[in-house]
Amino acid sequence: MATKKKGGARKKVAKKSTARKSAAKKGARKKAAAKTARKSSAKTARKASAKSARKTTKKAARKAAPKKKRTPNAAFMRPVQPDEALGAVVGSNPIPRTEVTKKLWAYIRKNGLQDAKEKRMINADDKLSKVFGGKKQVSMFEMTKLVSKHVK
């Protein structure tokens, strides 16, 4: 509608009010924001439901696993025959290797043979010194190695 005149003067053009333009833009922006909010909320809801479904299946799997009773290793449960030196401490009857260790520790605690400062060390008395090969003090890790020489 605007036309130019030769003298450089312009005819004024009727413009839309700025209030109408900004209101229209605001409405469009609100609609777009609402749409993206709906999409994102729907997306997060789907994610949350999928996550909770995974958790429940994991929990169910964990609950199902402990129901199966653990069976002991047959090699540990097989009776072994202690020799005379070890028999004086744990008894001369054939017993499983696990019981040998339990009875040995019971003997150590009963007689107070664990070193007070260094708890890993075992002080030998007369009976244990035969088992430990004449050593006066051995570590608890070395003890199992020395005891295994005295079982058949």
Confidence category of residue 74, pLDDT binned at 50, 70, 90: confident
> Who's near 13: CB < 8 A, 6+ residues apart?
1, 2
Average pLDDT over residues 41-60: 66
Q: For position 75, what pLDDT does the model report?
A: 78
Query: What gap in Å lies between CA 94 and CA 119, rounded to an integer?
Result: 30
DSSP category for residue 125: -
On whether the CB atoms of residues 80 and 95 are closer than 8 A, the answer is yes
Residue 147 tokens, joined: 């005891």
Location of structure tokens 């025959």: 81
Kindly tell me if the per-residue pLDDT of 152 is higher than 80. yes
Confidence category of residue 26, pLDDT binned at 50, 70, 90: low
pLDDT in tens, 77-108: 899 999 999 999 999 999 999 999 999 999 99
Task: Name the more confident of 128 and 11.
Answer: 128
Query: What gap in Å lies between CA 39 and CA 32, rounded to an integer?
Result: 11
Average pLDDT over residues 57-77: 69
Kindly tell me if the per-residue pLDDT of 47 is higher than 90. no
- Which of these CATH numbers, 1.10.245.10, 3.40.960.10, 3.20.20.70, 3.30.70.120, describes 75-148? 1.10.245.10
| Pairing of β 137-139 and β 121-123 | antiparallel
pLDDT in tens, 108-117: 999 999 999 9
Alpha helix (H) ranges present in 65-96? 74-77, 84-90
Task: Name the more confident of 41 and 128.
Answer: 128
Kindly tell me if the per-residue pLDDT of 55 is higher than 80. no
Query: What gap in Å lies between CA 134 and CA 79, rounded to an integer?
Result: 26
On whether the CB atoms of residues 99 and 117 are closer than 8 A, the answer is no
Q: For position 146, what pLDDT does the model report?
A: 93
Q: For position 139, what pLDDT does the model report?
A: 95
- The whole-chain average pLDDT of the chain stands at 79
Q: For position 72, what pLDDT does the model report?
A: 73
